[in-house]
Amino acid sequence: MSDKLPVIEDQPEICRSVDAGERSVWTRVMNRFADHCRARSLFVLHYCTGCGAIELPPTITSRFDMERVGVSPMVTPRQADILLITGYLSIKTLKRVILSYEQMQSPKYVIGFGSCTINGGMYWNSYATVKRLDQYIPADLFIAGCMPRPEAVQQVLLKLMEDIDAGKANGWQDYYNNYDRYLGNQQALFGESWHTPTDVIAEAKHYGYLADGTMGRHTDLLLKRADYALDRVPEDYPERGKNERRLP
Amino acid sequence: MSIPAKLNDVLHEMPGIKVRMMNERRVRVDLSPDTLPALLEILKGRLGYCHLSAISCVDWVQTDQFELVYHVWSHMLKTMVSAHIFISRQPGQFISVYDIHAPAGFFERDIHEMFGVHFEGAPNLNKFILTSWGGPPPMLKSFNTREYVEKTFDWVQYSPDWLKDIEAKGGGID
Amino acid sequence: MMSYVADFIFMPLIAFVTGLGLVLMARRVRAKIERRVGPPVLQPIYDIVKLYAKKTQISHGIMHDLSIMMLLGGFITAEIFLPVPGFDGLAGEGDLITLIYIMMVPMLGLALGVGSCANPNGSIGISRALTAMLAYDIPFIIAVTGACMAYGTTNLIEIVQIQQAGGPASWGAATMPLLAFGGLLAVHGMMGKEPFEIYIAPAEIATGPMVEMSGKYMGALFIMQCFQLYTIGVIYTTLFLGGGENWPFFLAKVFAVVFISVAVTNVYGRFKTDTMIRWMWKWPTGIALAGLALVMAN
Amino acid sequence: MRPENYRPVKHPPSHEYELYFGPNHPGIEGNYAIRVRLKGDVIIEAIADGGYLHRGFEKIMEERLWIQNVALVPRICVPDPVPMEETYSRAVEMIGGLEVPVRAQWIRVMLLEMSRICAHLFTFGGNAATIGLYTNMFWGVTMRDYFLDLFEEVTGARIYHMFITPGGVRRDLPEGFLGRLGNLLDELERRMPEFEDLFFESAVVINRASGIGIISQEQALSWGVTGPNLRACDLPIDLRRDDPYLVYPELEFDVVTVEGGDALARMMARRGEVIQSIRILRQIIARLPSIGGAIRSPLPNPLAWNLPVGEAYARTESSKGETAFYIVSDGGPRPYRVHVRGPSSMHAVQVLEKLLIGARIEDIAQIMFSLDACPPEVDR
């Protein structure tokens, strides 16, 4: 397809970080219980990013009935757990997807839907669509096909449930841990002045997901170039709710 | 297969017009750009060609011209007239027919966006689809989408290192 | 004093558990009408635990946090004023009027919280919610007033005793059917179900008040929904269906009241705001007024 | 401290505000957005903001072979893909001078009408969901799913069939297919009264849908409204009648017109079309077995297939309106230019912007769904 050599990236090891509290039996039991419940209650963000969304109504409605496994559609990103990228993403949509993704509350999961999210699929030579979803936001699972059948959608949801139940679906932590890499890819596409209203670094700091990859070359650019000053935000975030970046 | 008499009369009032019957209900006319608005006006007023089906633009690189095709349909005569005009690629300018056919507003905006043709008097030539696009008008033949894609996007690795390791140990997909 | 402690603990707890059952029933009934299977039995619990187990959440300031307290606090207080079999709580101290006041607190709390989110959809939603409250409260208050006049007391315990003394024939629904029917329509509006679901309205204002609620805040709203269904069901049961003689009968009545509402809602679309007010002030209010006139004539 | 999405607006009049009816709003059909300025509840300005689904079809089709494009075209309109395939194929046939065998024409009409029923059932569902009547959506989408099963049986795919190719169709119908189609039509007819009770005759629906988004006849003609939306203004204009293609002249059907031009009339026009489509399909079931012959005219090697120099403009009456392809060939193995005229490019942009002015915030979704706008057609 391309004679250009693909860019080799370090694939970060996606695994659950062990914190001190996790050693206590009580926390472990509670975490286990929480994971159990998370896996059985999944709200899907109502966002039809592409043509794959046409197979979601059959999946939700009477014939396949997603609600019987606890999956239901949700309207706003604030409440949603799953972001279904239903097919190709135009560059304009990708911006909204990233905004929506950052507004969703962790733990959050992304499912790439159809071949277009994996490698451009049918639109591999289109100037308008993004070729690889996982460069811009961490995707937990992909469904191959154009377009995937409702059965495939259900299958992947069940697989996601298994992963959540086992504590393995941690793509969202990867976004905090390697924010610099994701932001770099986003900046390469949208230009260097790209920024979102959600302050991911501050969130990472506040909730303890700061890692080596969170800040770097690209986030420095954010500091320098953005039309608002990140450095005016205090280093520590003593209160909840202070994790938003101030606008001038 | 013949042109309705009324239509034939009207079309031949236009100077320098070439009329060709494409099929039963479609007439292709070639005319000079200056007479196009007059033709559309007359067709609409006299023969009920009030439905502008589409305006298509073709980029002819060899002759350095844009071809604009106005497809109008008459609910009365049940015939389509496709009016072809050629305008120069430089500077790529034409007049809007929005005041004759309101749907032209969308098509002209689209052509402006995709080909960079400027329509004088169009109500709205703001970007609609390509608001996040910084490059040249993408539908121009000079824009190579494949080259752009190769330059901008990375492909999935079909033989990453970790797979090579697995394959070396006798695993892998095949 | 010690007896109150048990009441304070158990009455909201019972309300919550029953509310979970009511939510489950609402979802199952909806699923059946839509010809599908519906959620598993523990789904309401999974949803709430999941929302509370969210690792990040967005707060929009002190008011936003406080509003959740007001919301849940209002309902928990309301549960303590509602007599159920075996527990009287504060129902002897406060009366129906107090209860109705307390029931307005959650909605006002929600309004304050949503107002601090600065999301236009939320603000529109809350203004619609308050408008809806204006619409359904008038027939509801008329029905309540009529019932109180008929029973001659505003004390809920006494109302229950009066009805239970005479058996089903002395239930409010039998002695003042017009008031009971007007009240039922008002109660349907109170639950925010179609055709009176104007303030949720996903396709219009993206779920209105809930638009900015995330994680624990949303979890609180889910809990509020449990309390809301329970409270409304119990008030109606207490006023018109003879209250609770014992738990099985009492729960059957509460579920029946909510069942009527959730069964009807799925085959209706949603009214516009002004249509809802007009309808509420016309039919339920008219019926309740006729009932009130009958009560006063007797 | 300000919430994260808060951005101060520059000196707005105090009583006006802007609402981004954005792409992940459930009241929007597909991935599309409308920026509305509101004064209280009433819209004073609406600006459509599309392009979220832009894939550059017209560009990438220039880069592919004539036959490869068959795989691309159905993706232009997701809920109603068959008319796209058919229109493209017909335009190519016009340029190449290919004759479509009669049996293939009948099969094409059958698929077109099945697709129309699917798209309309989907729209009913969507329209009902905008006013909170989800039951209709659940039933309608499920009903549509049975049609998709039949599509799968014939074409091998549920949504994107890629079945109609230049010169005919890919393969013949499976055995007993027409019988199964007949059974499904019976089932649909049996279910129609349910949908009427629930939706078309529901007092709430009539209350909400009547009188909003009114298009007058003059406006409809001058704004370029087509399809069921035009027929809802009591104008009997239907390409299947006026500019007949395939075997439509041999079929009996009524052009459904409804008076009113409002959202309710548009829904009723679609309801009438479903019934007419059932009628057409019944005629096809009766006549197709007696029509034999090939299903495809012989093509040259499709990988080295150069069409003669020429241009063609083919139009089809899809469930949304007038779908058209303008194709130019320079004698090469690939199209020189393909222009897609999606019907929604009128409905979702200019018409919607005009209809929304003066409407109220709760009507936005309903007006959009009643126009049956299909954003992927607009963005292409």
* CA–CA dist C42, C54 (Å, integer): 18
Which of C39, C49, C202 comes nearest A67 by C-beta?
C39
Residue D132 lies in a domain: yes
The answer to whether the CB of D339 falls within 8 A of the CB of D59 is: no
| pLDDT tens digits for range D155-206 | 888 888 888 988 888 888 888 888 999 999 999 999 888 888 888 888 888 8
Instruction: Please return the burial class of C98, using the count of CB atoms within 10 Å of its CB with bins 0-12, 13-18 and 19+.
Output: middle
Best of C45, C51, C56, C65 to disrupt the A interface (most A CBs within 10 Å) is C56
Mark yes or no for CB contact A147/D159 under 8 Å: yes
User: What is the distance between the alpha carbons of residues D53 and A125, in angstroms, rounded to a whole number?
Assistant: 15
Alpha-carbon distances, residue C33 vs A61, A72, A73, C26, D188 (angstroms):
12, 17, 18, 11, 18
Beta bridge partners of D33: D49
Helix, strand, coil percent content, chain D, rounded in steps of 5: 50, 15, 40
Q: Please tell me the predicted confidence (pLDDT) of residue A7.
A: 47
Binned average pLDDT, 10 residues per bin, chain B of 174 residues: 77 81 86 87 86 90 89 88 88 87 89 88 84 82 86 79 78 61
Identify from A91, A119, A122, A127 which residue to disrupt to test chain B contact, counting B C-beta atoms within 10 A and taking the largest count: A127
Determine the pLDDT at residue A13: 47
Q: Using a CB-CB distance cutoff of 8 angstroms, which residues of chain D are in contact with residue C61?
A: 1, 3
Joined tokens for residue B103: 């749907």
Q: How far apart are CA D184 and CA A92, in angstroms?
A: 41
CA distances D192 to A143, D174, D278, Å, are 36, 27, 11
A2 against C289, higher pLDDT? C289
Cα radius of gyration (chain D): 21
Contact B134 A125 (CB under 8 A): no
Model confidence at D77, in pLDDT bands (50, 70, 90)? confident
Dihedral over Cα of B25, B30, B35, B37: its sign: positive
CATH of the domain at B104: 3.30.460.80
Decide the pairing of beta strands D168-169 and D164-165: antiparallel
Bridge partner residues of D340 (DSSP): D325
* Two tokens, residue D97: 């001078």
Domain harbouring D85, CATH code: 1.10.645.10
Residues of C in contact with A103 (CB under 8 A): 58
The alpha-carbon gap from C49 to the nearest alpha carbon of chain A, in Å, equals: 6
Instruction: Name the B residues in 80-109 with CB < 8 Å from any D CB.
Output: 80, 82, 101-103, 105-107
How many domains, chain D? 1
Please identify among residues 84-143 of chain A the ones whose CB lies closer than 8 Å to any CB of chain B.
91-92, 95, 118-120, 124-128, 130-132, 135
A23-169 placed in CATH 1.10.540.10: no
- Domain of D75 in residue numbering reads as 57-379
How many other CB atoms sit within 10 Å of the CB of residue A207? 17
Chain A residues close to D159, C-beta within 8 Å? 51, 54-55, 147
Residue D29 domain flag: no
Chains that touch A (3 or more CB pairs under 8 A): B, C, D
Contact B55, B104 (CB under 8 A): yes
Q: How confident is the model at residue A230 (pLDDT cuts 50, 70, 90)?
A: very low
Residues of B at the A interface, defined by Cβ within 8 angstroms: 130-135, 138, 143, 145-146, 148-150, 152-157, 160-162
Domain residue spans of chain A:
23-169, 178-248
Contact C49 A106 (CB under 8 A): no
- Tell me which chain C residue has its CA closest to the CA of residue D24: C206
C-alpha distance from residue A225 to each of A193, A228, B56, C169 (Å): 6, 8, 42, 77
Residue D228 lies in a domain: yes
Per the structure, the complete domain to which residue B132 belongs is given by 5-168
The count of CB pairs under 8 A between chains C and D is 90
- In a domain? residue B152: yes
Token pair of A149 as six digits? 């059948």
pLDDT at A91: 86
Chains adjacent to B (≥3 CB pairs closer than 8 angstroms): A, D
For residue A245, pLDDT beyond 70 = no
Q: What is the DSSP string of A42-62?
A: EEEE----SGGGGGHHHHHST
> DSSP assignment, residue B74?
E
Which of C60, C124, C195 shows the shortest C-beta gap to D3?
A: C60
Which among C61, C124, C269 has CB closest to D131? C269
| Mean pLDDT, all residues of chain A | 77
Whole-model pTM over 0.95: no
For residues A22 and B12, give the distance between their C-alpha atoms in angstroms, rounded to a whole number.
88
DSSP one-letter code for C84: B
User: In A, which residues are within 8 Å of B153 by CB distance?
Assistant: 120, 130-132
Place of tokens 């239509």: B7
Whole-number CA gyration radius for chain B: 23
Residue D308: cis peptide before it, omega within 30 degrees of 0: no
- Give the residue-averaged pLDDT of C97-102: 85
Q: What are phi and psi of A158, to 5 degrees?
A: -65, -40
Q: Which of A4, A132, A191 sits opposite B156 (nearest CB)?
A: A132
Q: Are C176 and C162 in contact (CB under 8 A)?
A: no
Q: CA D127, CA D212: separation in Å to the nearest integer?
A: 13
**Residues B103, B106, B109, B113, Cα dihedral to 10°:** -140
Q: Pick from A55, A75, A122: which is nearest to D72 by CB?
A: A122
Q: How far is B158 from chain A (nearest CA, A)?
A: 9
What letter represents residue B104's amino acid?
Answer: A
Residue D313: φ, ψ to 5°: -125, 110
Instruction: With CB atoms and an 8 Å threshold, state whether A190 touches B161.
Output: no
Residue of B nearest to A7 (CA): B154
The answer to whether the beta carbons of residues A12 and A174 sit under 8 Å apart is yes
Token pair, residue A213, equals 């990859």
The two three-digit tokens of residue C32, written as one number = 């059946």
What is the residue whose two structure tokens read 């420095």? A220
- Indicate the range of B65-74, C170-179, D127-136 predicted with least confidence: C170-179
pLDDT digits (tens, 9 = 90+) for A27-62: 888 888 888 888 888 898 888 888 888 888 888 888
Whether C266 contacts chain A with CB within 8 A? no
Q: Which residues contact A24 (CB under 8 A, 6 or more apart)?
A: none
- Considering only CA atoms, which of C241, C51, C63, C83 is closest in space to residue C147? C241
Q: Answer whether D158 sits within 8 Å of A149, measured CB to CB.
A: yes
